[in-house]
DNA sequence: GGCTGTTCTTTTCCTCTGTCAATGAAAGAA
DNA sequence: TTCTTTCATTGACAGAGGAAAAGAACAGCC
């Protein structure tokens, strides 16, 4: 395990302080009494935890107390000072690096991206480093210090060691990315799987706030799934988890690169849809946008392909819900652009496959800009910075 | 939530004491130094935690130090005094009640069962109560006090409230079982889902000891699955979790009572196998044992049915492993009698569906006597008695 | 048999965290 | 102005766990 403790002081020193800070971070401005209620701490403990955090500027009093309560001394809400620290999040894909500068509340301040021509670590790392340096310069312009760098990579990533064990898209094996990036940038680095990073962002700053069990399903070039169980992101004993894309839905379905037939990814991921659209229409459709346009223009064959894809996704979600019984499933990803075409299939297939009360699970969608992946990486950096674990 | 704290003092008062006790409970006799290492406590803290537990007799010094280590002061291992307290575990099925008297180490001392003719709570509860009283008498014979009663019921059970929300097999709805049983027996009662109870038993006393993530798959009249993630049993936000039986494997497969086609349960559970065997052989096969005999005698059609069932189970396990990445999967249940017929199908289907390093997951079998379900219930009672959470 | 080295266990402070209960602060209401 | 109500802080306190030193129990060695 790498030592990240050699870096600057983290805002939360005691468990209680960490708990208080993450609570305020996720649940917006809160009065001290409210914090005490949520964290199950005494109000005295909250005061003691808040003070040092305010002294170093991570928390500030929220003076905007428009709605005065009826009686008694007015409450003094506290919120996180978003501009107190910045973080950089980087998402590395096979042909692009996306980087964002995010504040302490994980709001994107600046976004940059560059295309990649080569995928070897030796080619990617310098590009990444220069992109990070650009953003460091931007941060300097804001007069805010960057306190951490998060890097999201698809595949089998060991966050504890900061090593990319195997990334199929990048064709990387056992790359000690955190160590390399740390020496190149001088920042504390957190490396994590891309879907898990996105899940962390949802857990702390998105639709997963306050939930101890939820799933995030990403639809796009691949089908991924991030899981939060008992308030913690699931990583899997062997680095693999949430591999919803290779749930085999139909033994007679199209072959998947994993060797099986009818995997969700072989039916509902962008490449699979494009392949099917080409086959049905005979046209050389190469982008998801083109396929989408064909479907929207009313082509029944193409619409059917999307309907099937929606069904596959719905069944996959049903499997997750039956197995884990999460409170909520968040559907996201670039593929969400076609959600109107998926929706019915997802809804019906989910309703059919969800067993008993599991059907009560709230299935929602959440649009995802391409920068969001990098924001997820920033969220992991914030998480490491605070040095705590769960909600 | 019911108040169980009104009962007798639990052995562990502080978090550390609870941690120490569960560690010794699960990991057999341990020296204090070893306990300190495993719990990450200081040796001083271990001494302080162990002393009161020894004074009240829950822990004893294990004098059987046959293998003396080479040098230094000999270590003094500590173990749980199994006979210090007894627990009763009860499993209620549609046509039978199984009850066991178990010691603090969850070893079965006495087992009893009676058949049921009616399933209404009004008919079942008196039978259960009399069975419990029989075992209480047995315990008196041992001169040991019974400190808790665990009841395992299939279906949607809310352990925190002690209410059976819905049990399809028993046709029970919203039965406040814990409260009723508490007044009837005077014991602290824990009610839980049967598969979860079995999972708890494995986690604390079986093949799940020391693992933070594992799955238990039960094969028999139904196909069930208990999950442990991050060291805690998964219960699901809506009471449903581990519903592996209704994972749809084959859209063209046989219809399932849940409304879908090709569910694992519709292929690999006992009733499904019997149905298929009757169809293939034309004979009036009514018990699993008969079907098994036909298969063992070499009937290729019947063997094929078992092979298909094994494949379905293997694919279901693959789904669990891809989703959660557990360290181990334990296959158990009455259906394990046919494991030799399942084995190849399970192995192959699992190997094919497991994605990447998830295939490294250890898949093992574990025979399950019919009393084991009741033992699981006893394990939940022990867990409640200790009043702690995880390993 | 005493001495020494080694390892396990206990004891003795000591720190530090969070709670309790009382006090202070900031309003509106009477 | 004074009272009431609610929020926030303070200071004394209990108790949990850690560090370090002492104690205990053995084997081996002279």
Q: Do the Cβ atoms of B83 and B66 come closer than 8 Å?
A: no
Question: At a CB cut-off of 8 Å and minimum separation 6, what does A320 contact?
Answer: A215, A217, A225, A227, A244, A326, A329, B323
CB neighbours of residue A271 within 10 Å = 13
Domains of chain B: 15-80 (1.10.10.10), 85-202+372-386 (3.30.420.40), 210-365 (3.30.420.40)
The CA distance from B75 to the nearest CA of chain A, in Å, is 32
According to the model, what pLDDT value does residue A69 have? 64
Name the nt closest to A76 by C-alpha to C1': D7
According to the model, what pLDDT value does residue B9 have? 47
According to the model, what pLDDT value does residue B210 have? 93
Nearest CA in chain B to A252: B250
Averaged pLDDT for residues A314-320: 95
Question: Is B156 in Cβ contact with A357 (below 8 Å)?
Answer: yes
The answer on pLDDT for A352 being more than 70 is yes
**Residue A389: pLDDT band with limits 50, 70, 90:** very low
Element (H, E) at A22: helix A15-26
According to the model, what pLDDT value does residue B69 have? 65
Q: Do the Cβ atoms of A257 and A269 come closer than 8 Å?
A: no
Q: Is the CB of A15 under 7 A from strand D?
A: no
The answer on pLDDT for A4 being more than 50 is no
**Residue A66: pLDDT band with limits 50, 70, 90:** low
**Residue A5: pLDDT band with limits 50, 70, 90:** very low
Measured in whole angstroms, the distance separating CA A53 from the mean position of its chain's CA atoms is 27
According to the model, what pLDDT value does residue B5 have? 37
**Separation of B81 CA and D28 C1' (Å):** 36
According to the model, what pLDDT value does residue A368 have? 87
The CA distance from B244 to the nearest CA of chain A, in Å, is 6
According to the model, what pLDDT value does residue B174 have? 95
Q: Between β-strands B59-61 and B108-115, what pairing exists: parallel, antiparallel or unpaired?
A: unpaired
What integer best gives the mean pLDDT of chain A? 90
The CA distance from A380 to the nearest CA of chain B, in Å, is 19
Nearest CA-CA partner of A199 in A162, A222, A233: A233
Q: Do the Cβ atoms of B226 and B196 come closer than 8 Å?
A: yes
A321-336 pLDDT tens trace = 999 999 999 999 988 8
pLDDT below 70 — which residues of chain B? 1-12, 64-69, 388-391
According to the model, what pLDDT value does residue A94 have? 86
Rounded Cα distance between B193 and B313, Å, is 21
Distance of CA B128 to CAs B96, B270, B381, Å?
10, 27, 16
Nearest CA in chain B to A258: B355
According to the model, what pLDDT value does residue A252 have? 85
Averaged pLDDT for residues A119-131: 93
**Residue A198: pLDDT band with limits 50, 70, 90:** very high
- Burial class of residue A363 (count of CB atoms within 10 Å of its CB; 0-12, 13-18, 19+): buried
> DSSP string spanning B58-91?
SEEE-----S--SSSSPP--EEE-GGG-EEEEEE
The answer on pLDDT for A384 being more than 90 is yes
Nearest CA-CA partner of A15 in A34, A40, A284: A40
Q: Is the CB of A73 under 7 A from strand D?
A: yes
According to the model, what pLDDT value does residue A2 have? 46
In A, which residues are within 8 Å of B238 by CB distance? 325, 327, 357-358, 360-361
Go through B60-83 and write b for each residue having 16 or more CB atoms within 10 A of its CB, e for each that does not: bebeeeeeeeeeeeebebbbbbbb
Taking every pair of Cα atoms in chain A, the longest distance, rounded to a whole number of angstroms, is: 73
Rounded Cα distance between B175 and B90, Å, is 16
């Amino acid at each position: 395990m790498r030592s990240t403790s050699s870096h600057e002081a983290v805002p939360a020193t005691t468990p209680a302080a960490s708990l208080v800070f993450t609570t305020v971070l996720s649940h917006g401005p809160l009065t001290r009494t409210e914090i005490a209620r949520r964290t199950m701490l005494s109000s005295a403990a909250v005061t003691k935890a808040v003070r040092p955090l305010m002294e170093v500027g991570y928390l500030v009093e929220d003076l905007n107390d428009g709605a005065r309560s009826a009686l008694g001394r007015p409450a003094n809400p506290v919120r996180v000072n978003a501009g107190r620290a910045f973080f950089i999040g980087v998402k590395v894909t096979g042909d692009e690096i996306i980087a964002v500068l995010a504040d302490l509340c994980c709001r994107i301040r600046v976004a940059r991206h560059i295309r990649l021509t080569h995928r070897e670590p030796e080619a990617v790392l310098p590009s990444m480093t220069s992109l990070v340096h650009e953003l460091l310069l931007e941060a300097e312009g804001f007069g805010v210090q960057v306190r951490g760098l998060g890097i999201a990579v698809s595949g089998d990533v060991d966050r504890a060691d900061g090593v990319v064990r195997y990334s199929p898209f990048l064709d990387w094996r056992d790359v000690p990315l955190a160590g390399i990036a740390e020496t190149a940038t001088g920042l504390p680095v957190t490396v994590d799987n891309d879907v898990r990073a996105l899940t962390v962002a949802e857990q702390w700053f998105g639709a997963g706030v306050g939930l101890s069990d939820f799933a995030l399903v990403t639809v796009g070039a691949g089908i991924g799934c991030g899981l939060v169980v008992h308030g913690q992101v699931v990583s899997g004993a062997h680095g693999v988890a949430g591999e919803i894309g290779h749930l085999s839905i139909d033994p007679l379905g199209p072959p998947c690169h994993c060797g099986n037939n009818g995997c969700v990814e072989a039916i509902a991921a962008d490449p699979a849809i494009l392949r099917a659209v080409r086959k049905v229409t005979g046209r050389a459709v190469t982008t998801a946008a083109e396929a989408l346009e064909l479907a929207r223009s009313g082509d029944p064959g193409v619409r059917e392909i999307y309907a099937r894809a929606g069904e596959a996704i719905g069944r996959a979600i049903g499997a997750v819900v039956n197995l884990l019984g999460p409170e909520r499933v968040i559907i996201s990803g670039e593929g969400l652009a076609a959600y109107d075409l998926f929706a019915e299939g997802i809804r019906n297939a989910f309703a059919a496959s969800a067993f008993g009360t599991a059907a009560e699970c709230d299935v929602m969608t959440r649009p995802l800009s391409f920068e969001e992946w990098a924001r997820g990486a920033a969220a992991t950096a914030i998480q490491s910075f605070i040095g705590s674990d769960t909600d």
